[in-house]
Amino acid sequence: MTQLDCPAARDDIDAYAIGALDAEEARALEAHLSRCSDCSRLAEDARESGTMAVAMTAPLASSSPALKARVMASAAVLTDATSRPRHGARRWQAAAAALVAAVIAIFAWGMVMQRRVDRLDERNAALRADATAQSTELARVHTELQQMTDFNARLAGTVGTQDAILDVVTQPDVRRTPMTGTAVAPRASARYLWSPAQEVGALMAQDLPSLGAGQTYQMWVVYADKWVSGGSFSVDASGAGRLVVRTAEQGEPAGAAPSWFCVTIEASGGTTGHTGAMVLRGSAQ
């Protein structure tokens, strides 16, 4: 015999109260009621109110045309019965009582089934709400993981830049060139540290203005007859920017010494020739 838990037992209590369970279901429920005082109390309440609930409850769904026809036909039979001889009155009264009992049983069973459907709807709604909450939590965790990945990538880039700058600073032939802002960025300033022997440099700028979409800052190493790009960079919210420059990789003239350095505003991605406004400048001499 199946052992019921409280939710399953309470699904069957209404049917049990009106005698709509089969024998096996009734035994399983009665076994649970003998162990559970809460469900037993609910069953007692259902038994006490079952008759009134059946009498007072309207059908939960529209009756089929066939059922309506049967009820109307039975009503006609009852009407005709009042005019028949008395010796058949008891037979017609018994038939009418059986029909009324059948109709009430149908309505009562419909009420029980509707209550079960309502409970299933409540459980499904709770499951959907739980699934939505889990989906929202997964989306939040995914966003946090992506943010952490981006942060780690930026941190790795920052550490790499700092290591490269430290390498430039420790070169025995390192030179330091101050750079000042132009009329386009009068508050800006920078230091450019560079090693002629290693053909590497490090730019550390500050107080540069924020740029619009599609723009970037680009470093230039200027020779007597050639401008060599040192690469492009962006700035943070305070206007600070860092750039490691490897002029040998950009086509530095062999054996030539730079005359001066500058930073211009160019299109995103940088350009092969300077076209934008100059914001920083410093002499290499």
Which DSSP string corresponds to 58-101? PPSSPPPHHHHHHHHHHHHHHHHHTTS-GGGHHHHHHHHHHHHH
Q: How much of the chain is helix, strand and coil, in % rounded to 5?
A: 55, 20, 30
Q: At residue 261, what are phi and psi to the nearest 5 degrees? A: -130, 155
> Rounded to a whole number, what is the largest CA-CA distance in the chain?
136
Interior angle at CA 186, CA 184 and CA 189, nearest 5: 110
Alpha-carbon span 205 to 194, nearest angstrom: 14
94-107 pLDDT, tens per residue?
A: 455 556 666 666 76
Whether the per-residue pLDDT at 45 is higher than 70: the answer is yes
Residue 137 structure tokens: 């939590």
Show Cβ contacts of residue 158 under 8 Å, excluding neighbours closer than 6 positions: none
User: What residue type is assigned to position 11 of the chain?
Assistant: D
Return the pLDDT at 107. 66
Alpha-carbon span 245 to 231, nearest angstrom: 7
User: What residue type is assigned to position 238 of the chain?
Assistant: S
Instruction: Report the pLDDT averaged over residues 38-45.
Output: 88
More reliable by pLDDT, 98 or 157: 98
Check: pTM over 0.75? Answer yes or no.
Answer: no
Return the pLDDT at 59. 47
Residue 175 structure tokens: 């030179």
Instruction: Report the pLDDT averaged over residues 27-42.
Output: 90
Whether the per-residue pLDDT at 146 is higher than 50: the answer is yes
Return the pLDDT at 260. 93
Give the helix/strand (H/E) hosting 160: helix 89-169
Q: Is 19 left (phi over 0), alpha (psi -120 to 50) or beta?
A: left
Residue 59 structure tokens: 């059908």
- Please say whether the dihedral angle defined by the alpha carbons of residues 107, 111, 116 and 120, taken in this order, is positive or negative: positive
